[in-house]
């Protein structure tokens, strides 16, 4: 463990309640979609008993992310700090704002498959080339990572201290990338939509989406969820300052 890791490990052992609340809130989008509270590290719900939540979190870790151990979790967190999709988004974003690259792409890729992942990502990057110019879609990577940390703690895969350490690492990265919770939320949402593969240029009813209505309904729900979060004065994203001492 190098000095920076040792320093963060030490600092994670003396976090204030405000700092802990801030770090937990990085998972706010996914946690609230699943009905989990944001007032403590453990996933809790008014609807489901704890054992049901634990069983559900185990399924999420194993089935959705192939996480069966702490080693798997750490490897996944490492990947999520610099995903290929995030890098692809930033490359497409650069192409959309530089005329030389944009023209080159236009003429060299006129016959490009509009169902390809690159085309999908490029369309989203062009749409948000100002709002997400510095952070890209890393909000989705960080949000998922924070959510997985809470899942791992809730299921007993990692200790509470380990969870705070991983969340603190994510928090440090997040503060360097984003200026406020709104930017973080938008980055998360756009990242989610590119990850699902939603094509901005795709009309309703095409072969790409056999269940087109359900997918578009899900997009609408995601957008409404973000809008409701940013309009909720009681939500941590509307109460906590972004730039706090971590």
At 14, give phi and psi (nearest 5°). -130, 35
> With 60 as the cut, is the pLDDT of residue 88 above it?
yes
Residue 245 included in any domain: no
CA 27 to chain CA centroid, nearest Å? 8
> With 80 as the cut, is the pLDDT of residue 246 above it?
yes
Higher per-residue pLDDT: 71 or 133 = 71
Q: Domain of residue 226: give its range.
A: 3-239
Share of the chain above pLDDT 90, in %: 44
Which residue, among 119, 246, 121, 242, has the nearest Cα to 185 in the 3D structure? 242
> What per-residue confidence (pLDDT) applies to 70?
96
> With 80 as the cut, is the pLDDT of residue 109 above it?
no
Higher per-residue pLDDT: 211 or 242 = 242
Q: How far apart are CA 26 and CA 126, in angstroms?
A: 26
- Mean pLDDT, range 27-37, rounded to an integer: 89
Q: Assign 83 a pLDDT band (cuts: 50, 70, 90).
A: confident
> To the nearest whole number, what is the mean pLDDT of the chain?
82
Query: How many helices and strands (H and E) does the chain possess?
Result: 14, 0
SS3 call for 45: coil
> With 80 as the cut, is the pLDDT of residue 235 above it?
yes
The answer to whether 151 touches 43, Cβ cutoff 8 Å, is yes
> With 50 as the cut, is the pLDDT of residue 63 above it?
yes
> What per-residue confidence (pLDDT) applies to 29?
87
> What per-residue confidence (pLDDT) applies to 112?
54
Residue 246 included in any domain: no
Which residue, among 190, 145, 116, 204, has the nearest Cα to 27 in the 3D structure? 145
Residue 155 included in any domain: yes
- Mean pLDDT, range 11-29, rounded to an integer: 94
Residue 202 included in any domain: yes
pLDDT in tens, 111-159: 454 556 666 666 766 776 667 878 888 999 999 999 999 999 999 999 9
pLDDT in tens, 184-196: 998 998 888 887 7
Task: Count up the domains in the chain and report the number.
Answer: 1
């Amino acid at each position: 463990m190098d000095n920076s890791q040792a320093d963060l490990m030490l600092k994670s052992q003396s976090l204030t309640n405000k700092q802990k609340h801030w770090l937990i809130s990085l998972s706010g989008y996914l946690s609230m979609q699943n009905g989990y509270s944001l007032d403590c590290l453990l996933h809790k719900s008014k609807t489901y008993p704890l054992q049901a939540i634990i069983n559900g979190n185990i399924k999420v870790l194993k089935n959705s992310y192939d996480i069966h151990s702490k080693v798997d979790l750490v490897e996944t967190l490492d990947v999520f700090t610099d995903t290929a999709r995030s890098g692809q988004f930033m490359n497409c974003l650069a192409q959309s704002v530089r005329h030389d690259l944009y023209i080159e792409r236009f003429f060299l890729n006129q016959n490009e498959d509009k169902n390809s992942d690159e085309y999908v990502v490029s369309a989203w990057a062009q749409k948000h080339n100002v709002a997400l110019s510095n952070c890209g879609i890393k909000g989705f990577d960080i949000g998922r990572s924070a959510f997985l940390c809470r899942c791992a703690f809730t299921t007993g895969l990692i200790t509470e201290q380990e969870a705070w350490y991983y969340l603190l690492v994510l928090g440090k990265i997040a503060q360097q990338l984003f200026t406020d919770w709104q930017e973080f939320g938008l980055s998360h949402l756009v990242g989610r939509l590119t990850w699902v593969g939603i094509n901005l240029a795709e009309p309703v009813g095409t072969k790409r989406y056999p269940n087109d209505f359900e997918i578009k309904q899900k997009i609408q729900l995601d957008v409404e969820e973000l809008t409701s979060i940013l309009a909720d004065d009681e939500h941590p994203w509307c109460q906590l300052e972004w730039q706090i001492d971590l």
